[in-house]
Amino acid sequence: MIGQHSILDLLLQASLVVQLVMLLLIGASVASWAIILGKRRLLNDARQAADRFEQQFWSGGELADIFVSGFREFSRLKTQGLVGAQLLDGSRRAMKVAQLKVTDRLEQNLSTLATIGSTSPYVGLFGTVWGILTAFQALGHVQQATLATVAPAIAEALIATAMGLFAAIPAVIAYNRYADQVGRLELRFDTFMEELSTILQRHAGVQAG
């Protein structure tokens, strides 16, 4: 409740432009939360799969995708008679391609969160400015303006800013958190690739000998 008016009443009494802005912000907020929940599940699955992989020696998940790509390419090149550095370079390229595919899947929709987080406050501010302009234009036709007549119109306008912040804050927090988690997973993938490359290098050296 805001004074004698509920938030729903203020929304219904707002001008068409302000209502459209609020609908846009509600849609952005819903989309943001859908991405947040989906990304949380995806990153948790990827992190748990990486943990299981490291604990149980190549048991599945994103690290397994990288391993399988690298080892298959290593085996394929070995059957073609390649040895030494050629074997290692080919397997590293295959692992890098697999890592980029995994990273692209983990980063999907993060840009949408960043866009919602950065633009929603401005969209809300636009709705507020428009609502205040409309309110003052309406007050221009009133002979005597009182606080009781001005307050509801200002409150209607300020709701747009509040809704913009409501949509932006979770999106910004989620983007920063998930971007950090993706970066940490990428580091684990890089470390795993280096460790596997060392193993393959030793094996390639034995084959070359």
Q: What is the pTM of this model?
A: 0.66
pLDDT digits (tens, 9 = 90+) for 20-66: 888 888 888 888 888 888 888 888 888 777 776 665 544 455 666 67
Instruction: Give residue 172's pLDDT.
Output: 92
Mean pLDDT value across residues 160-173 = 89
Instruction: Give residue 204's pLDDT.
Output: 63
Helix axes 16-56, 147-208, angle to 10 degrees: 30
Instruction: Give residue 8's pLDDT.
Output: 65
pLDDT digits (tens, 9 = 90+) for 69-124: 776 766 776 676 665 667 677 777 878 888 888 888 888 888 889 999 999 999 98
Report the half-sphere exposure of 76 (CA within 13 A, side-chain side). Answer: 10
Q: How many distinct structural domains can be found in the chain?
A: 1
Q: Kindly state whether residue 187 falls inside one of the protein's structural domains.
A: yes
- Residues spanned by the domain of 193: 7-208
Q: Kindly state whether residue 159 falls inside one of the protein's structural domains.
A: yes
Long-range CB contacts (within 8 A, 24+) of 184-191: 185/43, 185/46, 185/47, 185/50, 185/62, 185/103, 185/106, 186/99, 186/103, 188/50, 188/63, 189/62, 189/63, 189/66, 189/99, 189/102, 189/103, 190/99
Q: Kindly state whether residue 2 falls inside one of the protein's structural domains.
A: no
Asked whether residue 169 carries a pLDDT value surpassing 80, the answer given is yes
Q: Kindly state whether residue 1 falls inside one of the protein's structural domains.
A: no
